[in-house]
Amino acid sequence: MSGSGSGSGSGSSVVVIDAGGVAGAVGRDEALALYEAVGWSAYTKDPDGLVRALAGSTLVATARDGDRLVGLARVVTDGASILYLQDVLVHPDAQRTGLGRRLVSALLDAYPDVRQKVLLTDDEPAQKAFYESLGFGDTRDVHGGVLRTFVRFD
């Protein structure tokens, strides 16, 4: 997923918002602007779908530079056995500052007892390195390669 960052933090702060506060805390226009900035057109083609996705998330972490939304990550989870990390975005102006790492950590720290943490991302070396640095592994490399991943896009 393009838009994740690593490195040391800058002046931006991470604010964790629960699902009940998502709609008011992340406005439609600012969400669209961030998704457009990182080139995620699948979301920007369907703004109402993006709003529903954010509102349906279990937990959303946002990063702001003043009033400007510069980062966002979200999870969907049952809170017990599985957590799906989705949409780790950092505005290009704020990438490589540690913001992506801080967003993901804020979300994962909220669910320390959930055993399975899953994500689907692009097959790019930078993405692989970023998520491996956070403790994620390719399913081909975990538990001796006995895991298989299936996905369906409609």
Question: 7-62: per-residue pLDDT in tens?
Answer: 344 454 545 443 334 444 788 999 999 999 999 988 999 999 999 999 889 999 88
Query: Residue 24: which residues within 8 A CB-CB, separation 6 or more?
Result: none
- As a whole number of angstroms, the distance between CA 11 and CA 73 comes to 18
- For the sheet with 59-65, list strands across it: 13-18, 59-65, 68-77, 82-90, 116-119
Question: 94-126: per-residue pLDDT in tens?
Answer: 998 899 999 999 899 999 999 999 999 888 888
User: 148: pLDDT confidence band, cut at 50, 70 and 90?
Assistant: confident
